[in-house]
Chains A and B, each alone.
Chain A
Amino acid sequence: MLVELQNISKTFGRVRANQDISLKFEGGHIYAILGENGAGKSTLMKIMSGYQSADRGQIVVDGQALDLKAPTDAIAHGIGMLYQDPLDFPPFTILENFIAGRPGGIFPDRAAARQQLAAITERFGFGLDPNRYVDTLTIGERQQLEIVRLLSLNVRVLVLDEPTTGISAEQKTILFNVLKALARDDRMAIILVSHKLEDVIELCDLAYVLRRGRFVGEKTVPCPISELVALMFGKVVERQNRPNVMCGDSVLTVEAVRIAAQRLTVENVSLRVCSSEVIGLAGLDGSGQGEFIRACAGLFPPQSGTIKLNGRSMTRASYHDFSQAGVAFLPAGRMEEGLIKGMTLTEHFALTQRSPRPWINWFEARQITAERIKNFNVKGRPGSPIQTLSGGNQQRFALSLLRQNLKVLLLEHPTRGLDVESANTIWEQLLKRREQGTAIIFISAELDEIVSYSDRILVFFGGRATMVDDPAEMTADRLGELIGGRE
């Protein structure tokens, strides 16, 4: 079986999720679709499995172009997908989940379904009792149930979206063995969507790499991990010369913090930042940098270790205390965590103003907002609802809301989804703040952004961090190895 994606493009509003992507998948092989969050992997696979429709391009199976209107059409042509969040019915039993969506008459043949379920689970050694309720299962077991269900529908191409997130090491071993057996013995095509390099290296034959919605290259696996990283993160550009701002006093001191998050523990990370310093946090998504930056903002209390601001202990302090002390945090989810959908720019500004009076001086608020809009080069009017602005303008406006003379500014993916022009204006503003003495710590998935703006780089892998003191000396290979976890 040969599945071809031809020139697939898909846009969501202003975001180009997929741009002209063409890929080929053959039976008997295990493929990886590799890329950072937001690279367009999930969108592409949802298009291939009929969950979403492409704006342009087509899906061709064995020379025949398909018209997929719904996931069931894709399944009828042998393409099945395991979604990132299991799409099943938690209050139902395993058997009911297995039956739901199968063709048949008014009264389901439970005995036959039970037999079919047992036959497949036995082959792979899954311990799925048909009478158990799905809400008592682990994520790994729910995945097994979905795989069994798709196999029973005679799927020939199996897409798995980030299947190793949230499952135990043993379950991962079982899963990988099953996938290898399906490719080898049943000649199925297996497609693993992932941003985890170690999974790709362990399992796959061929990796297709996406970046910013485009197909950027393929590699036969096994290959040096740094080559995959180079494709995922882009080329490291020459570091531009920029005036070195003299580092002032140390503002933020983090000593040996340990942060226990849901899926990983950040261990023993220390960092001393002085004023006017820019620290880039690099690493694959979910390596601990997100937890670390939230701990620095007071959003995620560390289990042990200390955090000090200007010598004052802030280890157990709240987000509010941190922001009082001059720390600001801009999260990656601009519309989800940062700005309020439906509110105008003026209302956003009025919300940030502290005033002893209970009413709002709208005249003044509008005037100051208009001033900020001009100074920060935001394309929008004081009365525009925030969601009508483009991503770059939203980000510039979010920056304009932060007060001047911050001690520390924490940013998560400050330029994600923005074009080069917008990204540059964001950094102009950030560097202006740096000249005023603000220390900047930022997370980015773009290596060139990290290398060109950071004074020092902290590379995260699996919850541990390695400090790179002079980015100018850093080669792409070396950074790639650090990010990929090879010392």
Chain B
Amino acid sequence: MFSGLESTLRGIIRSAAPIVIAGQGELITERAGVINLALDGTIMLSAMTAHVVARETGSLPQAILAAMLVGAAVVFVVVVSSIGLRLNQVAVGFVLTVLCADLAIFLGKPHFNRPGTEIPTMPIPLLEDIPFFGPVLFRHNLLIYFSLILTLLVWFYIYRTRPGLTLRSIGEQPEAAFVRGTPVNPLRYAYALLGGALVGLAGATYSLSVKLGWKEDLSGEGWIALAIVIFGLWVPSRVALGAYLIVGLRSIAIDLQDSDVIDLPAQIVNMLPWFLMILTLLFATSGALEKVVRFTPDRFKPAVRRFLRAAPPRALGTTFEKH
């Protein structure tokens, strides 16, 4: 049905969808200044939830909604305990991720390895017939389409709208945002919940589309999404790029193993995101960036700088309190 390259690219877009969705969700949360470290457990719990709800009710919208509620609920615990109770966000997130993963395994036991419900594929008329691009981009289900346009939506929102500017400002310098009349903490709640709901949606994407049904081998995907937000230096386009890159490398490695061309252990590939993350952080913080800019022709300097410059939201993981 598909040629080799077509099916590889198609597969990458499918498998990267949950990581893209979770990554953009976490990006929104972190841009508001909140770290949700519970990503990994949240994805497992919401994937299990979507699977079970879809089986029990037969309703896919209900399954997706349930998964998003689970994601929002987990992040709600993080924000209440950090903004409300002044606990450490990292500590709370870490405990929650372990708790959610165990909860998913425990609650999901009766539904383990049962056939899952799949979201029907909805090819887009006319576009699906374009040679090569049709099969790669336009023969997917709704969740995959969503993952494809989400990056654009997030980019547009945070760089082109006033509320997006406000979102960036509360994660960067909450005092300055407060002085300009922004209700910092209510907005942090709102954006954290939105980001959490997207993480839940990523979980649903796994169990309803990518790895049908409920299996425990989802563990680790959330950490990769977290790493990709750092690798992407909190910029939507680069987060998407990172997700497709990592999933692409993973699928190439699997193909190579199958074809016995070279024997590359899958674990090596799984280590790549972490290497990339450390390298990116080194690059972004060591002044190497300015060197790159210095060697580019003057005409391109602003463009190159704009593409490369990025820094963590300065108020990430801190709490804001009016004196």
Are B161 and A100 touching (Cβ within 8 A)?
A: no
Are A51 and B309 touching (Cβ within 8 A)?
A: no
Are B180 and A100 touching (Cβ within 8 A)?
A: yes
- Secondary structure type dominating chain B contacts: helix
A47, B168: Cα distance in complex, Å: 27
Those of B295-315 within 8 Å (CB) of chain A: 302, 309-311, 314
Taking the closest CB of chain A, its distance from the CB of B308, in whole angstroms, is 12
Task: Assess whether B166 is interfacial by the CB under 8 Å rule.
Answer: yes
Taking the closest CB of chain A, its distance from the CB of B163, in whole angstroms, is 6
Task: Assess whether A133 is interfacial by the CB under 8 Å rule.
Answer: yes
Quick one: CB contact mask for A437-459 with B, threshold 8 Å, 1 for yes? 00000000000000000000000
A88, B160: Cα distance in complex, Å: 19
Task: Assess whether A105 is interfacial by the CB under 8 Å rule.
Answer: yes
Q: How many A-B pairs with Cβ below 8 Å? A: 65
Contact size range, B: 20 to 34
- Among A25-33, A91-99, A240-248, which stretch is in contact with chain B? A91-99
Those of A140-163 within 8 Å (CB) of chain B: none
A71, B182: Cα distance in complex, Å: 10
A-B contact pairs, 20 of them (CB 8 A): A70-B181, A71-B178, A71-B180, A72-B179, A87-B173, A89-B168, A89-B169, A89-B172, A90-B172, A91-B172, A100-B165, A100-B166, A100-B176, A100-B177, A101-B177, A101-B180, A106-B163, A107-B161, A108-B162, A131-B302
Those of A26-42 within 8 Å (CB) of chain B: none
Are B323 and A52 touching (Cβ within 8 A)?
A: yes
- Which residues of A lie under 8 Å from residue B165 when comparing CB positions? 92, 96, 99-100, 108
Are B181 and A71 touching (Cβ within 8 A)?
A: yes
Closest to B174 in A: A87
A106, B156: Cα distance in complex, Å: 12
Taking the closest CB of chain B, its distance from the CB of A271, in whole angstroms, is 40
- Which residues of A lie under 8 Å from residue B118 when comparing CB positions? none
A150, B26: Cα distance in complex, Å: 34
- Which residues of A lie under 8 Å from residue B181 when comparing CB positions? 70-72, 101
Are B178 and A107 touching (Cβ within 8 A)?
A: no
Task: Assess whether A358 is interfacial by the CB under 8 Å rule.
Answer: no
Q: Which of A70, A99, A100, A133 contacts B309 (CB 8 A)?
A: A133
- Which residues of A lie under 8 Å from residue B169 when comparing CB positions? 89, 92, 100-101
A88, B180: Cα distance in complex, Å: 10
A104, B166: Cα distance in complex, Å: 12
- Which residues of B lie under 8 Å from residue A90 when comparing CB positions? 172-173, 314
- Which residues of A lie under 8 Å from residue B163 when comparing CB positions? 106
Interface residues of B, Cβ cutoff 8 Å to A? 160-163, 165-166, 168-169, 172-173, 175-182, 302, 309-311, 314, 323
Are B162 and A87 touching (Cβ within 8 A)?
A: no
- Known contacts A51-B179, A87-B173, A89-B172; is-contact A106 B166 (Cβ 8 Å): no
Taking the closest CB of chain B, its distance from the CB of A55, in whole angstroms, is 12
Are A92 and B162 touching (Cβ within 8 A)?
A: no
Are B179 and A92 touching (Cβ within 8 A)?
A: no
Are B179 and A71 touching (Cβ within 8 A)?
A: yes
Interface residues of A, Cβ cutoff 8 Å to B? 46, 51-52, 70-72, 83, 87-92, 96, 99-101, 104-108, 131, 133
Q: Which of B168, B176, B310, B311 contacts A88 (CB 8 A)?
A: B176
Are A72 and B180 touching (Cβ within 8 A)?
A: yes
Given contacts A107-B161, A108-B161, 7 further A-B contacts (CB under 8 A): A70-B181, A96-B165, A99-B162, A101-B179, A104-B162, A131-B302, A133-B309
A471, B168: Cα distance in complex, Å: 57
Most chain A Cβ neighbours within 10 Å, of B160, B162, B175: B162
- Which residues of A lie under 8 Å from residue B314 when comparing CB positions? 90-91
A139, B182: Cα distance in complex, Å: 24
Most chain A Cβ neighbours within 10 Å, of B176, B302, B311: B176
Closest to B306 in A: A133
Taking the closest CB of chain B, its distance from the CB of A205, in whole angstroms, is 28
- Which residues of A lie under 8 Å from residue B180 when comparing CB positions? 71-72, 100-101
Taking the closest CB of chain A, its distance from the CB of B51, in whole angstroms, is 37
Among all A-B residue pairs, the 10 with the closest Cβ atoms: A101-B180, A72-B181, A87-B176, A71-B179, A108-B162, A89-B172, A52-B323, A87-B179, A106-B161, A100-B169
- Which residues of A lie under 8 Å from residue B302 when comparing CB positions? 131
- Known contacts A91-B311, A104-B162; is-contact A70 B178 (Cβ 8 Å): yes
A341, B173: Cα distance in complex, Å: 26
A371, B27: Cα distance in complex, Å: 55
Taking the closest CB of chain A, its distance from the CB of B183, in whole angstroms, is 9
Closest to B163 in A: A106
Closest to A96 in B: B165
- Which residues of B lie under 8 Å from residue A100 when comparing CB positions? 165-166, 169, 176-177, 180
A91, B179: Cα distance in complex, Å: 18
Q: Which of A46, A52, A83, A105 contacts B162 (CB 8 A)?
A: A105
Closest to B160 in A: A107
Closest to B166 in A: A100
A108, B310: Cα distance in complex, Å: 23
Closest to B313 in A: A91
- Which residues of A lie under 8 Å from residue B175 when comparing CB positions? 87
- Which residues of B lie under 8 Å from residue A101 when comparing CB positions? 169, 177, 179-182
Taking the closest CB of chain B, its distance from the CB of A57, in whole angstroms, is 17
- Which residues of A lie under 8 Å from residue B182 when comparing CB positions? 101
A89, B171: Cα distance in complex, Å: 10
Are B162 and A107 touching (Cβ within 8 A)?
A: yes
Are B168 and A51 touching (Cβ within 8 A)?
A: no
A70, B176: Cα distance in complex, Å: 12
- Which residues of B lie under 8 Å from residue A89 when comparing CB positions? 168-169, 172-173, 176
Taking the closest CB of chain A, its distance from the CB of B271, in whole angstroms, is 31
Closest to A86 in B: B176
- Which residues of A lie under 8 Å from residue B166 when comparing CB positions? 100
A70, B177: Cα distance in complex, Å: 11
Taking the closest CB of chain A, its distance from the CB of B301, in whole angstroms, is 12
- Which residues of A lie under 8 Å from residue B309 when comparing CB positions? 91, 133
Taking the closest CB of chain B, its distance from the CB of A244, in whole angstroms, is 48
Taking the closest CB of chain A, its distance from the CB of B175, in whole angstroms, is 6
